[in-house]
A = this chain, B = another copy of it.
Amino acid sequence: MNSFERHRPRLSQASRPLTVTIPARNEHGEEVPTAIAGENPLTIYVDKRELVTLMTLGARPEALTLGWLLNQRMVKNIEDILSVQVDWEVEAVSVTTRNGLDDAEKKMSTRTVTTGCGQGTMFGDLMEEIDSVALPATAQFSQDALYALLAEVRAYDSVYKAAGAVHGCALAQCTPDGCEILMFVEDVGRHNAVDAIAGQMWLDGIEGGDKVFYTTGRLTSEMVIKTAQMGIPVLVSRSGLTQMGWEIAKRVGITMIGRARGKHYLLFSGMENFTR
């Protein structure tokens, strides 16, 4: 889609301060100024109806809101969103749609609390949908590209380095010449970070088929499902994985790599699409 034609909702730009410094005391009784991550409730209202309260660092609240609505399958087209306005004074974001939400009533009536950092995804629906996700079966990835990606991630300035207690996610594009990080989002919940990236991709009309998704967090079922929903065929994590995450990755054809730090990693799926 031509960027001139692309619809953009009216967005606020309401990023929060990400860390504060508090006085802690160490094992020697010394006062140690310690940076800690912010955590803010953000209640999503859609057409004046309260839907959910997310706890967030607040770095990318507009993209987070869009990504949450997308990943919950509440809205299908970005054209249906007229505006996303965050107001931290009242800890709320007001979303205005053209025609209301799809099935919000039904979707809110049961909920799945997902593993690590759940966001109440409708698990059954997603598992039905997952088989219709089309990933490019021939997306190739290599050890050189992986090492380039890890070097880029290390170089990134982050709240984690300053304060810990956050998870980071990155969307990257790797070519034979190296890897470029297109977005890097941290949040107190890793699913907020992935939702914010999904929201930004949706907003900018970015396709996932030639991208790589990196996360500091664990590869649980929901993380793998969201990666598949974004259409991204390669998923890399600094951490480990769960059995269900592994099974879904194999089912949808994601190349999945865990425990990736420095020059070490474990390849868990997609052996046929990975070159060492």
**Residues of A in contact with B (beta carbons under 8 Å apart):** 20, 22, 24-27, 29, 32, 34, 36-41, 50-56, 108-120, 123-124, 143, 163-165, 188-190, 218-222, 239-246, 258-259, 263-268, 271, 276
Q: Please report the C-alpha to C-alpha distance between residue A27 and residue B259 in the assembled complex, in whole angstroms.
A: 11
CA distance A239 to B244 in the complex (A): 26
Residue in B34, B108, B220, B246 whose beta carbon sits within 8 Å of that of A109 in the complex: B108
Cβ-defined contact, B55 with A165, below 8 A: no
Q: Which residues of B contact A24 (CB under 8 A)?
A: 258, 266-268
Chain B residues near A263 (CB, 8 Å)?
27
In the complex, 18 of the A-B residue pairs with CB atoms within 8 angstroms, ordered by the A residue number, are: A22-B246, A22-B268, A26-B265, A27-B263, A39-B115, A52-B110, A52-B113, A55-B115, A55-B123, A55-B244, A108-B108, A116-B116, A116-B117, A117-B118, A117-B189, A118-B120, A164-B218, A165-B239
Would A50 and B221 count as touching, CB distance under 8 A? no
**Chain B residue with the shortest CB-CB distance to A271:** B25
- Complex-state Cα separation, A218 to B187, whole angstroms: 12
- Tell whether, in the assembled complex, residue B26 and residue A165 are in contact, meaning their CB atoms are under 8 Å apart: no
In the complex, the 8 A-B pairs of residues with the closest C-beta atoms, listed nearest first: A164-B240, A39-B242, A165-B240, A55-B115, A53-B112, A39-B244, A24-B266, A25-B267
A113 and B118 contact, Cβ closer than 8 Å, known pairs A240-B165, A242-B165, A245-B39: yes
CB distance from A195 to the nearest CB of B (A): 10
CA distance A190 to B271 in the complex (A): 31
Query: Would A242 and B188 be within 8 Å (CB), given that A26-B265, A27-B263, A268-B24 are in contact?
Result: yes
Q: Report how far A87 CA is from B26 CA in the complex, Å.
A: 47
Give the Cβ gap from A178 to chain B, nearest Cβ, in Å.
19
Q: How far is the CA of A125 from the CA of B263 in the complex (A)?
A: 47
Chain B's closest residue to A167 (CB) is B116
Residue on B nearest A24 in the bound complex, by CB: B266
- A37: chain B residues at CB < 8 Å are 240, 242-243
Instruction: Please give, as numbers and ranges, the residues of chain B lying within 8 Å of A123 by CB-CB distance.
Output: 41, 53, 55
Cα A24 to Cα B109 with chains together (Å): 39
